[in-house]
Chain A
Amino acid sequence: MQTKNTKTFYLIPYYVWIILFVIAPIGLIAYYSFFDLSGNFTLDNYFNFFTSVYLKLTLSSFWYAFLITFFTLVIAYPTAYLLTKTRHKQLWLLLIIIPSWINLLLKTYAFIGIFGLYGPVNAFLNVFGIGETQILFTDFSFVFVAVYIFIPFMILPIFNSLDKLNPSLVDASRDLGASSWTTFSKVILPLTINGVKAGIQAVFIPSLSLFMITRLIAGNKVITLGTAIEQQFLVTQNWGMGSTIAVFLIIFMVIIMIITGQRDKGATSIGKNK
């Protein structure tokens, strides 16, 4: 009896945390989404979300998230594969991870200089006779910086699943006469698909909700769901509409997690999604 009490006692702060900071915030977001600017109960926010403005915004947000995830995957998969072939792979992996520990803002800020009108990229283009072009504040710079930021998060889960792959399976496939491509598409990829899914999950959801990079790099030209939420909450102070967008963002997140969900436990990445 006594032990039982102690066990519950351990859990009190933790339970308080769950109620206050996990359940209550979601509840509050849902609750606020039913109120307009003057505090009246209304469904208008939801009707508003289905007007062309917000539907377009959602679509473009998904399109950018798709592009970012796609390029990240295309770059990260070979990198992860080659990393597993190196001799000190854990060390190399650590070197890949270190940039992800540098403050996100600083990395983004660096690109303001690199892509700037007098930055090195423009200087390089000048050598080839291409005049100074505005790279900053374009879709390209936005996608590039986002891919740059997310690459480590895609490499990590893929690396882990490739690392677990039994190399004798690849050898067996080769011995049985499969070409490199067949080996890859029929053996390696299916066996590492969980890592890919975990990586997509770790990149796609944060891509939908980016707002700092859109402001600094895309110069407000790209608006994602995250930017819209930030704007509603902090600029126009329309918490109701902001909450409604947040509700939809949560719904999208759940759908993506179900699609990319995996049955075997332990393979999920626990990388933080920002």
Chain B
Amino acid sequence: MEKTSKSAKLYLALVFIVLYTPILYLIFYSFNSGGNMSNFESFTLEHYAAVFSDTRLIMILLNTVIVALLSALIATIIGVFGSIGIVFMRNKSLRRSILSLNNVLIVSPDVVIGASFLILFTAIGVKLGFASVLISHIAFSIPIVVLMVLPKLQDMNSTLIDAAADLGATRRDILTRVIIPFVKPGIFAGFFMALTYSLDDFAVTFFVTGNGFSTLSVEIYSMARTGITLTINALSGIIFIVTLLLVVGYYFVSLRGKNPVGMGVRK
């Protein structure tokens, strides 16, 4: 038993090393004064300074954050109301088909989502740019919110609502004082997931972004295609810290809601 657990530890350690090496590698070289990712010359913060003095990059960062926050917020609102509607649906087969439709965007490959949204926006005449990116992000975040909120709603005992109604609560009261507080952890989890999906998305944004507007993923892609720039490394250092904070935040939210951490893994 002792022997297996030792090799087991080694195996796990190896997996962890492989998983984290590329990320740490990036951050390590972000402090390199040489201009490449192979020779570490001396410690410098110039690449971080470069990130903050590049107004275009800062604008793109702001765009990315604004799109993420706005899309997560709107998707959460639509998703929460959608799931409330689904839960109270009497017709079972209708409910099942709505749920399958809900999941279509979750299982579809991004390239297909991106391409079909591009056709859609062109067909209905939405100009490619901020609006199209925001709308796409809302669209692919809604089903995630629904999936996070729905289980919470199903856990809720319907007698709670009956009791509130008997005690004279209006429907508005029932919604804001009974349903929403009860499913709050699911709502938070959904919002967080939507936020990180949006921050991380590349493929869909790449299709619908047009010329003038860019998000971080798309920008990193075009920078990376031209070769190695240590500004990207500095950016990744910053992003790593922010992501870590987000993950820790999400972890505590899900602990409070007793949601399994692994509910939403992303790519």
Q: Are B224 and A273 touching (Cβ within 8 A)?
A: no
Minimum distance in angstroms from B252 CB to a CB of chain A: 11
* Residues 57-113 of B contacting A (Cβ, < 8 Å): 77-79, 81-82, 84-86, 88, 98, 101-102, 104-113
> Whole-angstrom distance between the alpha carbons of A269 and B267 in the complex?
13
The residue that B85 contacts in the complex, of A7, A82, A153, with Cβ under 8 A, is A7
Most A CB atoms within 10 A — which of B147, B171, B236?
B236
How far is it, in angstroms, between the C-alpha of A176 and the C-alpha of B189 when the chains are bound? 45
Chain B CB within 10 Å, residue with most, of A3, A11, A85, A239: A11
Q: Are A79 and B11 in contact (CB under 8 A)?
A: yes
- Tell me if A22 and B101 are in contact (CB < 8 A): yes
Known contacts A270-B106, A274-B110; is-contact A148 B22 (Cβ 8 Å): yes
- A118 near B: Cβ within 8 Å? yes
Q: Are A26 and B116 in contact (CB under 8 A)?
A: yes
Known: A18-B102, A106-B220. A13 touches B109 (CB 8 A): no
Counting CB contacts under 8 A, is B160 at the interface? no
Min distance, Cβ B153 to any Cβ of chain A, angstroms: 12
Interface size on B, residues (CB 8 A): 88
A13: chain B residues within 8 A (beta carbon): 77-78, 81-82
Scan B251-262; emit 1 where CB is below 8 A from any A CB, else 0: 100000000111
B37, chain A: closest CB distance, angstroms = 3
- Give complex CA distance A85, B12 in Å: 11
By secondary structure, the B interface counts as helix
- Taking a contact as CB atoms closer than 8 A, the residue among A8, A21, A239 that contacts B119 in the complex is A239
Residues in A with CB closer than 8 Å to B206 are 212, 230, 234
In the assembled complex, A192 has its CB within 8 A of some CB on chain B: no
Q: Which residue of B lies closest to A16 (CB)?
A: B78
Task: Decide if A113 touches B38 in the complex (CB within 8 Å).
Answer: yes
B20, B36, B113, B115: the one contacting A242 at CB < 8 Å is B115
Whether B12 pairs with A102 at a CB distance below 8 angstroms is no
Nearest-neighbour CB distance to chain A for B82, whole angstroms, equals 3
Q: Which of A118, A208, A246 has the most CB of B within 10 A?
A: A246
Q: Once the chains bind, are B12 and A17 in contact (CB under 8 Å)?
A: no
Which A residues are CB-close (under 8 A) to B232?
A: 106, 109
**Assuming the A-B contacts A10-B85, A109-B26, are A82 and B38 also in contact, with contact meaning beta carbons closer than 8 angstroms in the complex?**
no
Of all chain A residues, which has the CB nearest B88?
A: A7
CB–CB B37/A273 < 8 A? no
Q: Is the CB of B117 within 8 A of A21?
A: yes
- Which residues 86-100 of A sit at the B interface, judged by CB distance below 8 A? 86, 90, 92-100
Known contacts A10-B82, A18-B101, A270-B264; is-contact A28 B26 (Cβ 8 Å) = no
Contacts from A to B (Cβ < 8 Å): 2-3, 6-8, 10-11, 13-14, 17-18, 20-26, 28-29, 32, 75, 78-79, 82-83, 85-86, 90, 92-114, 116, 118-120, 123, 148-153, 156, 159-160, 201, 205-206, 208-209, 211-212, 215-216, 225-226, 229-230, 233-234, 239, 242-243, 246, 249-250, 253, 257, 269-274
Residues on B close to A: CB < 8 A?
5, 8, 11-12, 15-16, 18-23, 25-26, 29, 36-39, 77-79, 81-82, 84-86, 88, 98, 101-102, 104-113, 115-120, 123, 139, 142, 144, 147, 171, 196-197, 199-203, 206-207, 216-217, 220-221, 224-225, 227-228, 232, 235-236, 239-240, 243-244, 246-247, 251, 260-267
Task: Give 10 closest A-B pairs by Cβ, nearest first.
Answer: A14-B82, A113-B37, A25-B116, A209-B109, A11-B85, A110-B22, A118-B38, A21-B139, A274-B267, A226-B111
